[in-house]
Amino acid sequence: MEGKKSNGVSKCAYVVSVNMGYGHERAAYGLKELAHGGIITANNYPGIPEKDKMLWVESRKGYEAISRLKPIPVLGDVAFAIMDKIQEIPSFYPRRDLSEATYQVKQTYYMIEHLDLCKHLIEKLSKKPLPLICTFFIPAFAAEVYDYPGDIYLVICDADISRAWVAKDPKKSRIKYFAPNGRVVERLKLYGVPEENIYLTGFPLPKEAIGDLAGNITRQDLMARVCNLDPNGVFLKKYARVIESELGSNTCVIKKNHDLTVMFTVGGAGAQKQLGIDILTSLKRILVRDGLKLHLVAGTKKEIADDFHAAVKKLNLKNLLGKKIFIDYHEDRPTYFREFTKLLRKTDILWTKPSEMSFYCGMGLPILMAPPIGSQEDFNRTWLMYIGAGIDQGDPESTSEWLFDWINSGGIARAAWNGYMEAPQHGAYRIEGIITGKRMDVENLPMIV
């Protein structure tokens, strides 16, 4: 069964996400062309039972409240440590059987089996069964419990995952997994998922930022970016032959098409607000004097946008708003994801905690890593450093010094190139190929780390 087509792709699946943080919806956004009837938000769709809504609200409030406490000494550390312990990702080595269901898995199934969480949604979708692609584990588990008639897929949104992402009885489960990297493939096996239920696809980056299967948009944006990130030509002189062999002759003569642009993003829980203000404060003189643009991305958090505006006013920089300083806020999430993706193409440095945004290094975006929040972000950081695409931030209050030392040395340009070469770009294409059965087109895409 198929819906209308978008850009030549059949809207032939249900894409189900949750609006807890941004990560799960960001993955769903990359698959929007497959989404029959649009992306479905499992915790906030039309007609959701009030009981379901309350269960989701309470769980999200708890996570976001603790995340916001994280920067507070002692209290924040203790509260977050307790939550993080529940979601802990066990050490990978030595390899061993990790298939036994954890407390978190059992708690999830209790809500599904005894409190009917997601039952209404699954019964609604079962009336017209299509492949079901979930970017969070609860709707996928519920689909299996309530005998959803179609295939069930689960998109993994981090470079390593806790046992919470795998069904209570993985060997009997029919859920199929889309893994963003090789480590997740191996982790799923340790959790007991049969190999035939695992697809190594990469994270579904939005197609409009990638281009065709050859990545024509990404290549173009990368080289324009390198013009800003390698002002002294240190990186280009060393890697010119490699770049031209990969991207073609004359690649390195692409001209600068925008000012050096740094984007700082606040996560869905809003825990990094002060970091953004510290960055703005340190860069004040350079913003006034030189050709630098700074985007402070508040997402859909108006209170954070207001705090950023207050900081701009306090620093007497209001005259630079909309010229060199941009505070990016949107009232609704679909608009935010759409505009954020456009903005990425003119961004040179992405400064963020190592969340699902880590995978955006595949677009040739160097990642300046803010301190990770949670076990999964520790592993995302490890992955970014492993492929050479992520760099730990320096002291935010000294940003105006170390950031430009790193740029002038060609080091951040090298991180941009490493992300482009090592991280997957075509997750959305691979997933589309699996869902539609048209996999031949993607078989020759690069291997995934």
pLDDT at residue 433 in the model: 94
pLDDT at residue 1 in the model: 35
pLDDT at residue 385 in the model: 98
pLDDT at residue 282 in the model: 98
pLDDT at residue 445 in the model: 75
pLDDT level of residue 255 (50, 70, 90 thresholds)? low
Q: Is the pLDDT of residue 347 over 50?
A: yes
Q: Is the pLDDT of residue 35 over 60?
A: yes
172-219 pLDDT per residue, tens: 999 999 999 999 999 999 999 999 999 999 999 999 999 999 899 999
- Report CA-CA distances (Å) from 125 to 34, 44, 149, 176, 258: 15, 15, 9, 18, 46
List all residues 6 or more positions away from 94 whose beta carbon is below 8 Å from its beta carbon: none
Lowest mean pLDDT among 202-211, 244-253, 381-390: 244-253
| Residue, of 9 and 243, whose pLDDT is higher | 243
Q: Is the pLDDT of residue 448 over 60?
A: yes
Task: Walk across the sheet containing 132-134 and list its strands.
Answer: 40-41, 14-17, 132-134, 152-155, 176-179, 198-200
Overall pTM > 0.75: yes
Structural domains for the chain: 5-205+427-442 (3.40.50), 208-422 (3.40.50.2000)
- Report CA-CA distances (Å) from 90 to 97, 168, 190, 406: 11, 17, 11, 34
Lowest mean pLDDT among 151-160, 238-247, 369-378: 238-247
pLDDT level of residue 446 (50, 70, 90 thresholds)? confident
